[in-house]
Amino acid sequence: MKEIELDEPYSIPYRAIYAICDEKDECAEIIEHSNCYGGAAWARHHYSHSPIVRQIRTLGNMTRYLVEIDNVPLELKPSSAAAGIEAVEVKDNEVEITYAGLGGGGVGATCCRAQAAGVVRFETTPSGGGKEAKGTIVVPRRKRVLVGIDDTDTKETGATWCLTHNIAKELDCVESVYLSHSLVQLFPVSARTQNCVSTVLEFGCVDERAKNTLLEDIRNALEKYSASQDTGMVVLDSFNASSVREYSKLCRSAELTYEFAMEYAENHGVDVWMDGKGVIGALAALPWFARPDDSVIMDAELP
């Protein structure tokens, strides 16, 4: 018989928690990386009843809560609405997130989230047993930075999706967290290497300095490792990438010209960091961030 020793038998710390805010601080996306899928699934169900929660999505071990930046006290109910997000408030460059829960839901609302990476400080009440508990965590306010990349490979060597993920993983840091990676199926043009797929990387950056350092490092890595002379790299700071949705739809249904892509980028707030022909596909990838299950389907529609 194996005897085990548990340091914290009644707490499962979340891996990390981040907050991405929109441009006007009207809504935010709370992104939680869980260490226990079962607990995260329970939370998703109960948190869906919180008045400020608009939408919940799951991506791997990540739960993404789209919330209003507001404070609405919860009416907790055992078994049906036993936990939730009560408040999300922006103060200077930080975001305060308040959770509440009953029993085990209160443990998740307090110590489990307080111990997550990304949390700079917290306040919690006692939890566990039959208690009603509340916890507030403070995380940096982040903005979403989207990087579209295409044409790093040739017919002889390379795979853009591999290179982009490996670069992003190496550059993941506290100031610029690597959040998601999507392969985006494009219209199969004649110039494709094989499958006609581009990639979008999603990061959460704490400020302009962090963003610019990240982008310079990505470009330097692409210049070092790209096998193609046509590599395109485009960047968009946007909460929802709505400005390029129409372009993406066009690029997934027909062959577009390089000139059209460059003009569209200039007119819709997209910065071109590498101006090879890959800009055409890189630009189309941007609105598919954090939607890798849909982005690989040619006729999928963005919500």
Digit-coded pLDDT (tens) for 9-27: 999 999 999 999 999 999 9
The encoded tokens of residue 275 equal 């101006």
CA atoms in the 13 A half-sphere facing the CB of 297: 8
Claim to verify: residue 162 and residue 116 sit in the same structural domain: no
Summary mean pLDDT of the chain: 94
Domain assignment of residue 175, yes or no: yes
Claim to verify: residue 157 and residue 282 sit in the same structural domain: yes
13 by DSSP, 3-state: which? coil
Domain end (from 105, 140, 175): 140
Domain that holds residue 165: 151-288
Name the domain count of the chain: 2
Claim to verify: residue 128 and residue 197 sit in the same structural domain: no
Domain assignment of residue 303, yes or no: no
Domain assignment of residue 224, yes or no: yes
Claim to verify: residue 108 and residue 187 sit in the same structural domain: no
Domain assignment of residue 297, yes or no: no
Position 158 pLDDT exceeds 80: no
Nearest CA among 10, 30, 45 for reference residue 133: 10
Domain end (from 92, 113, 140): 140
CA separation for the pair 112, 124 (Å, rounded): 10
Position 284 pLDDT exceeds 80: yes
The average pLDDT across 240-258 equals 94
- In this predicted structure, what is the pLDDT of residue 85? 97
Claim to verify: residue 128 and residue 21 sit in the same structural domain: yes
Claim to verify: residue 158 and residue 132 sit in the same structural domain: no
Position 4 pLDDT exceeds 60: yes
CA separation for the pair 123, 136 (Å, rounded): 5
- In this predicted structure, what is the pLDDT of residue 54? 97
Kindly report which listed range (214-218, 268-272, 299-303) carries the lowest average pLDDT score. Answer: 299-303
Claim to verify: residue 202 and residue 229 sit in the same structural domain: yes
Claim to verify: residue 102 and residue 29 sit in the same structural domain: yes
Claim to verify: residue 206 and residue 187 sit in the same structural domain: yes
Claim to verify: residue 89 and residue 67 sit in the same structural domain: yes
Q: Which residues contact 77 (CB under 8 A, 6 or more apart)?
A: none
Claim to verify: residue 131 and residue 159 sit in the same structural domain: no
Domain assignment of residue 293, yes or no: no
Claim to verify: residue 109 and residue 170 sit in the same structural domain: no
- Give the sign of the dihedral formed by CA 229, CA 235, CA 240, CA 246: negative
Nearest CA among 149, 115, 93, 100 for reference residue 8: 115
Q: What is the pTM of this model?
A: 0.94
